[in-house]
Structure 1
């Protein structure tokens, strides 16, 4: 998964590292070199970065996403093959293609996998229930929509080692590789290695282990150009850690929009004018692809033209970018150099790069929980670099020495220097937390003002007048495909529009329930930035009540976190140091907590990886039990299971201090390895032969054309030594293979490539098991003989960055605008002003029932019964097509105009002094007359009560007072809200 926002930060800070990839779409075989005179030797695919977007493609248009989601394994596999073909056409490697699928992960990674899968299952169940409710509502309203698509791939949790899906994917990839080598000239002279889900280890780390071992072998070419495809930001760190200069990262430009692509929904709408019968099933969705015929998967793979019109267009083809590591190295060499160095000190770019990798771990990684001190979007990495340069002399030199990675005394990391470094970072915590608190308060005020603004609007029509007659033959509430339905073309288009509206409502619902503030779930128990935050943190996160408990827990947390930093460092530079170690807490320490770090004694037990089914039992929620063989199901679901407590049906999500639900911490119980393995061991004897294969550990597979020299040598060696079944292995070295080292031995598995039709001669491709070379110590240095590519990076490209906590982009809390009440003074116990706090709580708590009351909105097909409201109807409020409400009524048109002219409550470019002396927001923007609003002279009449909408809910402002001026001291300008609000008795009431 990588470090959130890291790639964006890196590309913005060092822009020359990123270049757009060139793609010749008109070429069909990929035999020509890369268009920009840049040749690549080896291409490595982090396959999980391909599998996921092919499994559940992302589209901006909700209907396009709905229709483009594959429904069968075969469709997902076809997407994957097309994706690989496209990457091959971009990179055009000359020597090697390495496909690495995530296998069983270390325990340190399983905790994150477990959290993500449990959260995903919970979110999907919530959305499923809401979609069912919306479909029932549409049926009552007589609106036809497309039925739910029957799908075998609704649960993305099956993208985990050991499942049937991953087992079938491995077989299909073997078929695909066989076809490409035998029929495509661009593949014919390449070697292809497949490391599937039955080979332990994360995909990207299997790739890095392969590279590290190859570069230690005699005959290795130090100018081999590697390209690694993947979306995880940690791939950049891993590439730097190899110290290979000729290294590039290829990834999608996820921010780019391919405007030339015609969406599937637009094709449907255009085709909706044709007079064709409609079938309400998956065939109905695909009928408009007039050239799309149902073909055998082997025939699809035989097509070498990935842009052929007859192939399914499931994927949005986004442009790609290369990140060139050699240019990044030049940037880091210039940016990390400190002018404050020890005497007789000589710079070493390789040590600088290793230190950069290490300090970035403090900004986030996949194996340790987030440290509250640093956020990348707050310039966290910039602060780490700043402290590193400022304190370099005081530290005494570099933080790590990866040439001593196998030193039994731990010489690879200088813990005393690390302690000084991170404590120096901790010295900035108070400033960071105070600014974070000020920004948080500013956002809360802005949200409160927005709610108030919306609450001052006139009544608006939330739903159009709905025809309640049922359409003959409608079967919206059913998921069963119906027979042919004779409908007009206009009706077909209407069905599509209805479906799009439903999906947009579902998307809006998902966004709404994720907003912690607007759902009234906002909490800030720790109150970072106010006195006592550390004690509160350990109290609420670690249940430490007394000062002694806090200190004891701090030491334990720091010790385990330090172990974790060492584990991650070794993992990036030498591979898995321990399969069983994991961080045993849900929360991390503060930077200022690391006092005593240097006294930590770090020792690891290597252990062994889990079996695939044991990992599935460790990371899957009960709702995904179907991904396991049936004998395992009872361990997750029955009351007599000894490990039932590992699989809660519900769990707490800590959103304290968070704005969105997805940012919360899932407080799941940690797996007890001993208990788990004791329970699963008894089940293994009940497995079928195929299930046992899914649960086994396998080696990588090497594919090459039988006419290649290495293939001929392998065949000859095995034939000369008798029966293949009796062979052990054959050593492969550079002089023989040309570019790879290791060991091969016969593949005695069933030949899955023979299962499909039309594969041609099975002897065209040789498939053998492959093991990497014997272990050698990795040298974290550029190898002798490396040609350093030209780079135009200079000192002028290194820009000084102002630290986030020192900038004045947000107002300080003491500088209140003129409209802020006098009693709204800083309360250090709560982290924001007490007056605003009360009103925020009131608005937020009033909003808490919105999600529950969504059902009421849809059950009423027109306006609520206005005659039963206990407020005075506003006179003279009439609809205007341009501004929503004219005369004395205001609607969303006014708010849109107002917001377009004042996009922020505070101008980020102004200094605090300017903000203090300027007119308040209310004085500047709050009154209709300031915007030349009609009928402002009548502003004092008929403002005693108004209705409005807030996120689709009907509201009315009620007051014990009828004076429109009485609320001015409390709200700045009550007239701007078209309502009177009493300072002591105001309240919001929903209708």
Structure 2
């Protein structure tokens, strides 16, 4: 959906939905750090019942962090994750349940996006490795020492996919962490913990939503349950709205606005560049203290409160003289459905609508304008009314020409501006640095402010080659020595320059920064001498025909119409599939959108005549998914015979694994924004070849390739533990296959209002010793934690409205808190002043 674009749009338009998190820090007493007691009241003034963690939003930042040195071992990743979860737990302090959900095998509709991302990741990694090698050779020629490259278990982030050895070890590591906290942390003692690992099918956030929907409106369910969900995806906001649970908060890191990410190279602070630095020293992320330990600034967090967003939406969609009494819950469902048009994980981006061009504002304005004539709502819970959808989207499509024309104008202006700036920069680089004021002044400021404050100079960054930068750095250091002869500062500089380890570390950080800049430069099409020609020319007469010719290969008017009809059918199927997925779960594991491109809004016509049905099917096995989404470069994560299917030139499915592929920029500026035109997997061919080698799996590999269930953990003092012990005493003697089929219904009074079933897992449910899978961490002795399998209650239809008995929080939003309706992007000439929150730029003008 375009994170952070959607989150930023929401927080700017409805600012009261976002509340800063108050964090309690550990205290230090006589040199001993005392951890936070999470059994005490939450300092945020809210007591949450359930905390849900979309674990992939934790795994990825710990696996390849942006603000600290990358880990080199899985153990380091796990320790980082434990610290990460601890911090989230301290913020939220759930009183009943912690649910940790890792992405399992995804529906086929998601696998196409996963395939594209993983192929792109492999290609980008190869490009980065080649560029790093070039820079290392450059440093070597200049006599600048670098630390040797470290062997790393984390060099391929594609292993964060179900079925890999990493995901299997991660599950064990998290089980250890859960046992550790339930045994020794007082804030954990009375909660239940559910771990849904990568062997449980389904995306993490959707497994969480299935749990929440499964509990609602059953005996013992508390309609005022307070939910908190942590994750990085924008669609979590939509999923939370779709539950119709009122007491719901989304927890996530603060999203910075463009420009704030640009840090001064000298002091590490945001808000200014090196040329304007006043020398207020602040260490940058990635620097080290005197002990050599990495200094990592803590990112602030925010709650996004769904009940406040519901208040805003209720005001936003008030309509004068409605044709019938408005049902606000149906409005919520329609808002969720409308947002699917601006982006989701299962359908390609519709060319008509861009969040950064105010697309959601346009959709909402059209909805309110057309509502009286639509005859009702766009959706009925999980089912779209296609006749009304057609009426609505055709009204949106009537603005396409204006949108495309403005987009083309802005693109042209941006291209010309960047061309001028690059020409000016090139001319400026040819000047002698001694006579350029923009270089002399910052150096003087650098000497005067940083050295006067007692700071050791950091490398000075300016436009130009690395050689130029190095010369400027040397001049600054020489000036420092001359201006302060014999001083302690000069001595510190000499000492630092003689410290080989410090120099290597500095060089390594500089190489990392240069590598990042070089890769970004290469990905920018404005730096290409032969940029991809835009043959579609949206906004110029004939754009629709050219779009279907260039993107779909149609050659005649008849072919264009035939393809358009099929694209519209499949895209409409996709809209229905996604809506069902958000409200009821997967309606087809096998369905996927079979094109790289979406139709235009105005193409969606004759929808009422479409016959749309789905067959549920079954999910892939983990290794099947790996074969469907991995490039050959990640084949090392699969068993040997599977690898050969991906790498052997004689493999019957080698065409699924191209080493190079076309990336269509499709009007975007950076290569990573383009569309990877990979061949779609033929499921029948893939599974047929896999079946031939499946018998070669070892028992450990077969276990990684199996389907498993959620695990439920409680401390022995929890009211649920006697039920698990009783189940074990009755059926623990049975073979695994037999006892796994026996399930006992939970008593909500003992489980804290949780419904569902428990089943015995393999092995001892409460081993006296739990061995540590992480180097450096001790085994758990005298374990008091018991574990069982947890299964959801029997399926019942999701009721898309708040449950009976819910107490709505006191209203905080008033009509005056809503900002005036924005000028729609395509109508905004830029001449009239208006609120910054409604100012939207063309994507070419935004830097991620």
TM-score, normalised on structure 1? 0.72
Structure 1 residues 460 and 525, CA gap change in structure 2 (3 angstroms): farther
**Equivalent residue, structure 2, for 1:927:** none
The residue matched to 1:559 in structure 2 has which SS? helix
SS at match of 1:770: strand
- What residue number does 1:507 align with? 516
Against the structure 1 CA distance between its residues 441 and 367, is the aligned structure 2 distance closer, same or farther, given a 3 Å change threshold? Answer: same
Q: How does 1:610-759 map to 2 (within 5 A)?
A: 610-720=620-730, 723=733, 725=735, 727=739, 728-749=742-763, 754-756=770-772, 758-759=778-779
Asked whether 1:46 is paired with 2:27, we answer no
Question: SS in structure 2 opposite 1:323?
Answer: strand
Provide structure 1 residue ranges, at least 5 long, that are not aligned to the other structure.
60-64, 272-286, 290-312, 406-411, 468-485, 812-906, 910-991
Supply the distance in 1 between the matched residues of 2:588 and 2:716 (Cα, whole angstroms): 39
Partner of 2:841: none
1:14-61, Cα deviation, whole Å (9 max, x unpaired) = 1000000111013523111111321100000000000000001112xx
Q: What is aligned with 1:376?
A: 355
1:657 shift after superposition: 2.0
What SS does the corresponding residue of 1:151 show, helix, strand or coil?
Answer: coil
Instruction: Give a deviation string over 1:340-399, Cα, whole Å, max 9, x none.
Output: 632xx0111100000000000001100000000000000000000000000001111211
| Partner of residue 15, structure 1 | 15
Give the alignment partner of residue 790 of structure 1, picking from 769, 785, 810.
810
1:582 aligns with 592
In structure 2, the residue matched to 1:390 is 369
Question: CA 1:49/1:455 → structure 2, altered by over 3 Å: closer, same or farther?
Answer: closer
Match of 1:5 in 2: 5
1-side partners of 2:370 and 2:583: how far apart? 25
Alpha-carbon distance in structure 2 between the residues aligned to 1:717 and 1:451: 72
Q: Distance in 1 between matches of 2:469 and 2:190?
A: 66
Match of 1:600 in 2: 610
Shift of 1:797: 1.8
Evaluate the alpha carbon distance shift between residue 639 and residue 764 of structure 1 in structure 2; reply closer, same or farther with a 3 A threshold: same
State the Cα distance separating 1:598 from its structure 2 match.
2.0
Q: Which residue in 2 is equivalent to 1:413?
A: 384
Asked whether the 8 Å contact 2:727–2:760 carries over to 1, the reply is no
Q: Shift of residue 712 of structure 1?
A: 1.2
1:908–1:384 distance in 2 versus 1, CA, 3 Å = closer
Distance 1:452 1:352 in 2: 52
Distance, in Å, in 2 between the alignment partners of 1:576 and 1:809 is 44
**1:162·1:197 contact (CA, 8 Å) conserved in 2?**
yes
Cα separation, partners in 2 of 1:446 and 1:702, compared to 1, 3 Å: same
After TM superposition, give the deviation of residue 263 of structure 1 in Å: 4.8
Higher relative contact order (CA 8 A, sep 6+): 2
- The structure 1 residue matched to 2:535, chosen from 486, 506, 525, is 525
| Structure 2 stretches lacking a partner, 5+ long | 27-34, 262-267, 270-280, 434-464, 472-494, 836-848
Quick check: 1:238 aligned with 2:239?
yes
1:523 Cα deviation after fit: 2.1
Matches within 5 A, 1:771-782: 771-782=791-802
Q: Find the residue that maps to 1:744 and give its secondary structure.
A: strand
Q: Does 1:497 align with 2:506?
A: yes
Note if contact 1:718-1:724 (Cα within 8 Å) is conserved in structure 2.
no
Task: Describe the shift of the 1:720–1:616 C-alpha distance in structure 2 as closer, same or farther (beyond 3 A).
Answer: closer
Deviates more, 1:666-675 or 1:131-140: 131-140
Q: 1:721 to 1:502 in 2, by over 3 A?
A: closer
Q: Deviations over 1:240-290 (max 9, x none)?
A: 00000000000011428897985564325xx3xxxxxxxxxxxxxxx724x
Deviation at 1:464, TM superposition (A): 4.2
Question: Following TM superposition, by how much is the alpha carbon of 1:630 offset from its aligned partner in structure 2, in angstroms?
Answer: 1.4
- Tell me the distance in 1 between the aligned counterparts of 2:728 and 2:287: 58
Equivalent residue, structure 1, for 2:276: none
C-alpha distance in 1, partners of 2:407/2:620? 42
Judge conservation of contact 1:54–1:79 (CA < 8 Å) in 2: yes
Aligned residue for 1:267, secondary structure, equals coil
Which stretch shifts more, 672-681 or 329-338? 329-338
Inter-CA distance 656–190: structure 2 relative to 1 (3 Å threshold): closer
- 1:413-447 CA-to-partner distances (Å, cap 9, x unmatched) read 21110001000000000111111111111112212
| Structure 2 residue 574 is matched with structure 1 residue 564 | yes
Q: Give the corresponding residue for 1:829.
A: none
Asked if the contact 1:523–1:657 (Cα under 8 Å) also holds between the matched residues in 2, the reply is no
Distance 1:494 1:695, change over 3 A: same
Query: How far apart are the structure 2 equivalents of 1:261 and 1:72?
Result: 30
Q: Are 1:434 and 2:405 matched, yes or no?
A: yes
Let me know the Cα RMSD of the aligned residues.
Answer: 2.3
Matched ranges for 1:2-151 at <5 A: 5-26=5-26, 28-59=36-67, 65=68, 68-151=69-152
**Preserved CA contact (<8 Å) 1:523 1:656:** no
Contact 1:341 1:397 in 2 (8 A): no
TM-score in terms of structure 2 length: 0.84
**Does the CA-based 8 Å contact 1:387-1:424 persist in structure 2?**
yes
